[in-house]
Amino acid sequence: MLQDNASFTFLHRIEEVELNIEDGRWQSALALALTLPDICGGIAFPEIVKRYRDGRAVLDRNQRPTRDVGNQYIRWFDTYAAPFFKVSAQDISPYICGERCWQLRCEYLHQDKGFANTEDNTSIRFHLGVNCGTSVCQLDRIGSDNSLTDIRIDIEQFCRRMCQAARAYYEVEHTEKDFNLYNTPVLDFIKASQDEQSNATIAIMCSNSAYGNGLKLALQRLSKNILVFETPEAARKNLARKSICFGLLRKL
């Protein structure tokens, strides 16, 4: 994708995972692949939000329900990705479930554990590998009470299967769901500074109004018409009445 394109799309993210696989960039491939259910879970299950014990939704600082990212992630994986993670089509269950994939995602992206697997209180341990041949996963239970499970994952197979699951979900849902809200804007600032100011309308969607207005100031050289919205509903309502030459939407 050219750097001056409007944005990195959901499909671009899948393609970049696949390019990293071809180049043998296993860390980058795995990191990006593990974020795909984050996006898909938010699109598929927006009604899954954090709640207090009395059932009330937890609100963010803009008084909107807060995403329950973990449960969205797990639900999407178990609903849409699980069939792609069976070693054999005849298998009843996938070799990794949504809850375990969420655990892998959190440990790999955030905890920086290095998978030393030395913690005494760890009941599920991941072992990442490459060039594992036909064995994409192996479950070993250690101990007489089966209290310790080692999950061995081939990174290439895991990433390819996640890409297949995400692309299949996109092909079915992209006409009904708004994947554009998860695009990442990409601007060539040198090129933009050399171009004359455009008459096109640029729409910025950002839940933080101060941050959105900051983006508006940064982009004012590009266009005379820059609009800032805090919600998708406000953007749709306003933009429906305008003739848009170029739309730039970002969920932050």
Which residues touch 113 (CB under 8 Å, ≥6 apart)?
A: 107
Average confidence (pLDDT) over 23-36: 95
Could you report the per-residue pLDDT of 178-205, keeping only the tens digit for each?
888 788 877 776 666 666 666 677 888 7
Residue 202: closest CA among 185, 182, 177, 178: 185
C-alpha 56/C-alpha 33 separation (Å) is 33
Dump pLDDT digits (tens) for 74-125.
999 999 999 999 877 788 888 889 999 999 999 898 875 555 555 555 677 7
Report whether 166 contacts 101 (CB < 8 A).
no
Local confidence band at 243 (pLDDT 50, 70, 90 cut-offs): very low
